[in-house]
């Protein structure tokens, strides 16, 4: 049995978040009997539990601001080392999601190597560019990224654009890389159009099927909420903009309320979070269109889920999004009036035009981003049966 330790996500069962969705899918679609997954989870107490046939170890982490993520990853790594001391394993792998513990990686890898293990890293997507961090924290993230690339035995990139960035930027380390995306499925929601939970949700937010555009994702500046809200306010349409995100006590929400004045536009509706998977899928299916403004990062799970469920998808025109959507989506820029015009155009689409984009989007998922395919590729990689690329 090969032990695979996954650290860096908030854990499973998953809430919102790319890494959380990934780990949920990876363990749910596990097929190999040769692999045993161990997943680090963040919680209010230290405990262990089983979920989806994998071993979860929950760690309590102090509330120490941005350093919380570093503390969490370090605690999880030392847990893995201690587990391997008590339960020796043949060629175990510690797979670290994101580059937060770079300054400690050389030392940690040395200890892991003494246990016969290897270090795999998912470099995520330019954490050091995120607007929420101040200059000092961004400098740390960039430095940390460099050291994790230097020490990793393998870097698993969820975007071809990210893989190329790693190769070009850190060429002197000749990093070993491979590309494995996230996954989604094109199965329809199990809920009907008359399901009580769906109708209750529509009534709560005063929405109707096909009469709203949708955004789902973390409410942070680099996801370009300001541009999307401003442009929607400019658009000549009776449709509404439903935003599913956790904005409670979010200073960015208060800032946008002041700078955009969206509170005076009754079409802008903040719908809180939706954790019921089938309900969220049904809400996506019934949307007139999906707006995706993610600018930092690799392949984003919320984009894959939108392509799998929503007929018409409007994506910010950056390399990461083009790589995923190809000709199955429409693209907008941050130029004033660009997205507003695209919203007006797509709101007027007839059924044939909507169906054409829907077919392309579903086919894109089936051919390149199926959950089962991604989980299988990971298993082959962990078992040494997948090709990697030398930088």
DSSP state of 157: E
Give percent helix, percent strand, percent coil of the chain, each to the nearest 5.
Answer: 45, 20, 35
Residues 27 and 42 in one domain: yes
Contact indicator for 207, 269 with CB cutoff of 8 Å: yes
Domain with 274 in it: 196-368
- Predicted confidence (pLDDT) per residue in 167-201, tens digit: 999 999 999 999 998 888 899 999 999 999 999 99
In 3D space, the residue among 382, 389, 385, 387 whose CA is nearest the CA of residue 90 turns out to be 382
Q: Is residue 229 part of a domain?
A: yes
Residues 30 and 127 in one domain: yes
pLDDT on residue 275: 86
Residues 379 and 355 in one domain: no
Task: Give the mean pLDDT of the chain.
Answer: 93
Contacts of 110 (CB under 8 A, 6+ apart): none
Q: Is residue 78 part of a domain?
A: yes
* pLDDT at 15 exceeding the cut of 90: no
Q: Is residue 334 part of a domain?
A: yes
Residues 289 and 382 in one domain: no
In 3D space, the residue among 337, 291, 334, 338 whose CA is nearest the CA of residue 315 turns out to be 291
DSSP state of 264: G
- Predicted confidence (pLDDT) per residue in 212-262, tens digit: 999 998 898 889 999 999 999 999 999 999 999 988 778 899 999 999 999
* pLDDT at 312 exceeding the cut of 70: yes
Confidence of residue 127 (pLDDT cuts 50, 70, 90): low
Q: What's the rounded Cα separation, in Å, for the pair 378 and 258? A: 45
Confidence of residue 125 (pLDDT cuts 50, 70, 90): low
Residues 66 and 127 in one domain: yes
* pLDDT at 163 exceeding the cut of 80: yes
Q: What's the rounded Cα separation, in Å, for the pair 118 and 113? A: 6
Q: Is residue 215 part of a domain?
A: yes
End-to-end CA distance of the chain: 30
Percent of the chain scoring above 70 in pLDDT = 96
In 3D space, the residue among 159, 167, 166, 179 whose CA is nearest the CA of residue 300 turns out to be 159
The DSSP element (H or E) to which 54 belongs, if any, is: strand 54-60
Q: What's the rounded Cα separation, in Å, for the pair 149 and 155? A: 7
pLDDT on residue 140: 87
Residues 163 and 62 in one domain: yes
* β-strand partners of 243: 215, 270
Percent of the chain scoring above 90 in pLDDT = 78
Residues 47 and 167 in one domain: yes
**336 SS3 class:** coil
* pLDDT at 16 exceeding the cut of 70: no
Q: What's the rounded Cα separation, in Å, for the pair 2 and 85? A: 15
Cα–Cα distances (Å) from 379 to 26, 239, 340, 355, in that order, read 9, 44, 43, 35
Q: How many distinct structural domains can be found in the chain? A: 2
Cα–Cα distances (Å) from 338 to 89, 237, 239, 314, 335, in that order, read 55, 15, 17, 11, 6
* CATH number of the structural domain spanning residue 253: 3.40.50.2000
Residues 142 and 55 in one domain: yes
**187 SS3 class:** coil
Residues 25 and 37 in one domain: yes
Average pLDDT over residues 328-343: 98
- Predicted confidence (pLDDT) per residue in 348-360, tens digit: 999 999 999 999 9
Q: What's the rounded Cα separation, in Å, for the pair 238 and 322? A: 29
More confident residue, 16 or 102: 102
Average pLDDT over residues 300-327: 94
Whether the pTM exceeds 0.75: the reply is yes
pLDDT on residue 131: 61
pLDDT on residue 159: 86
Tokens 């513990």, residue located: 101
Q: Is residue 156 part of a domain?
A: yes
Q: Is residue 189 part of a domain?
A: no
Write 168-175 long-range contacts (CB < 8 A, 24+).
Answer: 170/146, 170/391, 171/391, 173/149, 173/391, 174/390, 174/391, 175/149, 175/390, 175/391
More confident residue, 165 or 79: 79
Helices (H), 190-317: 196-205, 225-234, 251-260, 277-285, 301-309
Residues 130 and 65 in one domain: yes
Residue 122 CA to chain centroid, in angstroms? 12
Contacts of 210 (CB under 8 A, 6+ apart): 286, 287, 288
Pull the structure tokens for residue 345: 């155009």
- Predicted confidence (pLDDT) per residue in 50-70, tens digit: 999 999 999 999 988 878 999
* pLDDT at 129 exceeding the cut of 70: no
Pull the structure tokens for residue 246: 């956790």
Residues 240 and 334 in one domain: yes
Q: Is residue 190 part of a domain?
A: no
Parallel/antiparallel/unpaired status of strands 154-157 and 289-292? unpaired
Q: What's the rounded Cα separation, in Å, for the pair 286 and 284? A: 5
Residues 59 and 164 in one domain: yes
């Amino acid at each position: 049995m090969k032990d695979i330790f996954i650290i860096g996500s908030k854990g499973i069962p998953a809430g919102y978040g790319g890494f959380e969705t990934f780990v949920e899918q990876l363990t749910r679609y596990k097929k190999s009997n040769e692999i045993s997954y161990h997943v680090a989870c963040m919680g209010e107490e230290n405990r262990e539990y089983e979920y989806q046939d994998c071993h979860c170890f929950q760690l309590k982490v102090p509330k120490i601001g941005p350093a919380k993520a570093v503390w969490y990853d370090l605690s999880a790594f030392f847990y893995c080392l201690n587990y391997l001391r008590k339960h020796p394993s043949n060629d175990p792998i510690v797979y670290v999601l994101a580059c937060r513990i770079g300054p400690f990686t050389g030392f940690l890898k040395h200890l892991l190597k003494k246990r016969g293990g290897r270090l795999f890293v998912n470099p995520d997507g330019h954490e050091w560019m995120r607007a929420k961090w101040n200059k000092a924290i961004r400098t740390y993230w960039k430095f940390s990224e460099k050291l994790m690339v230097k020490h990793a035995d393998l870097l698993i990139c969820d975007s071809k654009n990210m893989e190329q960035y790693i190769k070009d930027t850190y060429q002197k380390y000749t990093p070993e890389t491979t590309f494995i995306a996230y996954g989604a499925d094109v199965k329809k929601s199990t809920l009907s159009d008359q399901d009580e939970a769906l109708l209750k949700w529509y009534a709560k937010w005063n929405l109707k099927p096909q009469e709203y555009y949708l955004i789902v994702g973390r409410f942070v500046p680099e996801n370009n909420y300001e541009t999307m809200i401003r442009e929607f306010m400019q658009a000549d349409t009776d449709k509404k903009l439903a935003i599913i995100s956790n904005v409670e006590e979010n200073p960015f929400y208060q800032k946008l309320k002041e700078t955009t004045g969206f509170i005076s536009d009754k079409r802008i509706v903040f719908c809180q979070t939706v954790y019921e998977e089938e309900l969220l899928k049904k809400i996506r299916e019934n949307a007139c269109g999906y707006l995706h403004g993610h600018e930092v990062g690799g392949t984003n799970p919320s984009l894959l889920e939108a392509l799998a469920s929503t007929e018409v998808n409007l994506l910010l025109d950056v390399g990461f999004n083009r790589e995923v959507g190809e000709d199955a989506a429409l693209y907008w820029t941050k130029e004033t009036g660009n997205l507003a015009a695209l919203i007006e155009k797509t709101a007027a689409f007839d059924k044939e035009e909507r169906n054409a984009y829907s077919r392309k989007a579903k086919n894109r998922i089936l051919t390149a981003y199926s959950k089962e395919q991604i989980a299988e590729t990971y298993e082959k990689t962990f078992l040494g049966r997948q090709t990697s690329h030398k930088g």
